[in-house]
A and B are shown apart, each in its own frame.
Chain A
């Protein structure tokens, strides 16, 4: 089975807008889903250059989540796990 790719942005803007907590959350996710997901970080995904989007940003299998927090990431993960 193909693993779900989760990419967390740790750029300055994402970090100060709440992304600082996401690496800790990533650890929890890794414990929960184990081999089903692969988590990586990015120094900047360039979404912050687009003023219509709001950080922090997380990409799950190419799908962008704005204002990412624990809840949004969990919900989206569960929805694609089901399908």
Chain B
């Protein structure tokens, strides 16, 4: 799951992503990460919970804990009371006769003020560039010993949460008898950020999880989960698709695209022809780049990606809906476009509404949707499931 929140007041975006690997031999992960944004309050709450044990049982414990922690936090309940409610609600483990799931709550408000509440998980790390910030850890008086931190985050900061499957990975190996350990994890993250200062939350959490699994020699001995919250510069992207209803607007559309500050994509053969004609730039097609029934991509100066229209968009709307774009081939044009969606926060669609009448022929071997509908569908998914700021303009 990927979630992003627009922080209009501070003009930074929050990119949130997590990656998990379940304990070797288990079907599901016993760590659960949940996040929710409340647009009205400009607030984002994330919870990572690690259930006792592993497998389904742990997943149930962690899911209950995470969803309760999330909802109690959003309802502004005092944290001690939330912790007590969670503990009383969780079912008892038959073997150990206790009920337990650890959790970390990140409660961020729009101005960057962030509360971190931790119970039982390895301490989360806050990075400003490559340096981890020192956290104070005020323990509460309650028997739960919750650690509470209040920090102020700014543009470029990252918060990294992980389960003990990460910090204890590799335990027992000659070169790391006590596992990976916090200091080494922290150094690894610093190094990754140093290598690529702009590394996305998506890539960073994946790298950490893969390294932890590697420490365990690819037989994870505990559920491994890492989530990263990245407060970053918003990235803008423009998708031009479809010829304008009125041919007089061709020049205007080309001008808007040419002057746009951000990534640019053309989606549609006729649209590409119009842009090429108006901007007097050649289109170079890579005829052999089409795969899996998606027509090939082309290149044009000043444009990041040129694809075919309705088939590519249709594929994207189907794939985005079930979060399965990782399963498409890397060179699939639809995947290339989806990766661009993932990497950007503010996405504008400039949609020409002229209908290609030949597409409406009922004798066609494939069903060709109307562009406007497909884009509406994609926009809704990007907005609701991937929390992008999406804008559609019809021309």
Contact = CB atoms under 8 A, between A and B. Distances in A.
Given A10-B308, A17-B364, A39 B295 contact: no
Interface in A43-69: 43-44, 46, 48-49, 51, 55
A8 interface: yes
A44 B273 contact: yes
Contact of B358 (A13, A20, A23): A13
A11 B287 contact: no
Nearest to A49: B358
Interface residues of B, number: 28
B270 interface: yes
A65 B356 CA distance: 21
Nearest to A55: B358
Nearest to B266: A43
A39 B364 contact: no
A41 B306 CA distance: 13
A43 B285 contact: yes
B273 A20 contact: no
Nearest to B288: A23
Contacts, number: 80
Given A23-B296, A41-B296, A46-B270, A12 B311 contact: yes
B308 A42 contact: no
A16 B368 contact: yes
Contact of A12 (B288, B306, B309): B309
B273 A12 contact: no
Interface string B328-367: 0000000000000000000000000000111100001110
Contacts of B268: 43
A74 interface: no
B290 A20 contact: yes
Nearest to B286: A41
A11 B267 CA distance: 11
Nearest to B357: A51
B380 interface: no
Most chain B CB inside 10 Å of its own CB: which residue of A9, A13, A51: A13
A48 B364 CA distance: 13
Nearest to B306: A43
Given A15-B308, A16-B311, A40-B285, A10 B290 contact: yes
A26 interface: yes
Interface of A: 8-13, 15-17, 20, 23, 26-27, 39-44, 46, 48-49, 51, 55
17 contacts: A10-B295, A11-B269, A11-B270, A11-B308, A12-B295, A12-B309, A13-B358, A16-B365, A17-B364, A23-B290, A23-B296, A26-B287, A40-B285, A41-B285, A42-B269, A43-B283, A43-B298
